[in-house]
Amino acid sequence: MLGEAPELEKVLEGGEYTYGTIAEGAESYRVETFGKIFAITRQALINDDLGAFTRVPAMMGQAAAAFEAKTLAGLIDGNPVMSDGVAVFHADHANLDTASVIDTAGLSSSRLMLRSQTGLGGGKINSTPRFLLVSPDRETEAEQALAAITATRTDDANPFSGLSLIVDGYLTDASAWYMAADPAALDGIEYAYLEGAPGPQIETKAGFEVDGMSIKVRLDFGAGWVDHRSMVKNPGAPVT
């Protein structure tokens, strides 16, 4: 991972350009193989009047997609330790806010933390908040906090109505909520597939010793955090 580009300096008349450096960081994760086999007997296929078994490949593909989503949510809930020996969301990373409800004050505090992040070289990143991520337990609260209001006074306008809401049912921490930068501008969590095999790979095999069919799904998938600066966590406070 590369840090921010070096700051520009004035070049005097007849002067030389000076060299700058870009700091580097490194996080790692691996692509691993996951899968499952589902076997169907010939008798079951014959008695399948509703064609239910023809949906099995699609269902296994959906299960693979759910596994990916659960893995990514687990990386947020799990708060793993990064290469610097500090958990993703930690005071040392300046991305763990004081617990609060989702309101203007809480959102303002998280936005300030996100914008105040510095790069590997110490320069300001000035990340623009793009998403509000919550569990289903805080969905209504988040919708109310982000609702656009046709205000007649400046004080009544909602400064956070431009944030996009993401509700993830795989998040297990019902209280916590997160503010994230645009992933196109700043990396956060990254996932990868084995080259040449993106997504779940479905294979079928007809039985020989035993009449029937086996359906196998294989997923070569990996995910991990690459930069803690892209997201701020608020542990959340009970709604009063």
* 215 is a domain residue: yes
Structural domain contains residue 27:
no
CA-derived radius of gyration, the chain: 24
Taking only the tens place, the pLDDT of each residue in 179-227 is: 999 988 888 999 999 988 888 998 888 877 777 788 888 999 999 999 9
Q: In this structure, is residue 149 part of a structural domain? A: yes
Q: At residue 3, does pLDDT exceed 90?
A: no
Residue 63 lies in a domain: yes
The parent domain of residue 56 ranges over 32-234
pLDDT (tens digit, 9 = 90+) per residue, 30-88? 899 999 888 888 787 777 766 767 788 888 889 999 999 999 999 999 999 998 899 99
CB 67 within 8 A of CB 219: yes
- What is the spatial distance between Cα 44 and Cα 114, in angstroms, rounded to a whole number? 56
- Residue pair 186/229 in contact (Cβ under 8 Å)? The answer is yes
Q: Are 230 and 188 in contact (CB under 8 A)?
A: yes
In sequence order, which residues have a C-beta less than 8 Å from that of residue 90 and are 6 or more positions away?
A: 96, 228
Four-point Cα dihedral 149, 154, 160, 161, nearest 10: 30
User: What pairs with residue 202 in β-bridges?
Assistant: 217
Q: In this predicted structure, what is the pLDDT of residue 95? A: 96
Find, among 188, 161, 156, 182, the residue nearest to 107 by Cα: 161
Asked if residues 66 and 72 have their Cβ atoms less than 8 Å apart, the reply is no
* Within a domain: 22: no
Tell me whether residue 4 is in a domain.
no
Q: Is residue 72 part of a domain?
A: yes
pTM of the model: 0.80
Domains identified in the chain, total number: 1
What is the distance between the alpha carbons of residues 18 and 7, in angstroms, rounded to a whole number?
A: 11
Helix (H), strand (E) at residue 221: strand 212-225
pLDDT in tens, 130-177: 999 999 999 999 999 998 665 556 666 778 888 999 999 999 999 999
Which CATH number fits the domain that encloses residue 75? 3.90.1690.10
**Residue with structure tokens 């990386």?**
75
Three-state DSSP class for 73? helix
Amino acid in position 88: V
Q: In the 3-class helix/strand/coil scheme, how is 167-220 assigned residue by residue? A: ECCCCCCCCCEEEEECCCCCCCEEEEECCCCCCCEEEEEECCCCCEEEEEEEEE
Q: Which two tokens stand for residue 173?
A: 């921490």
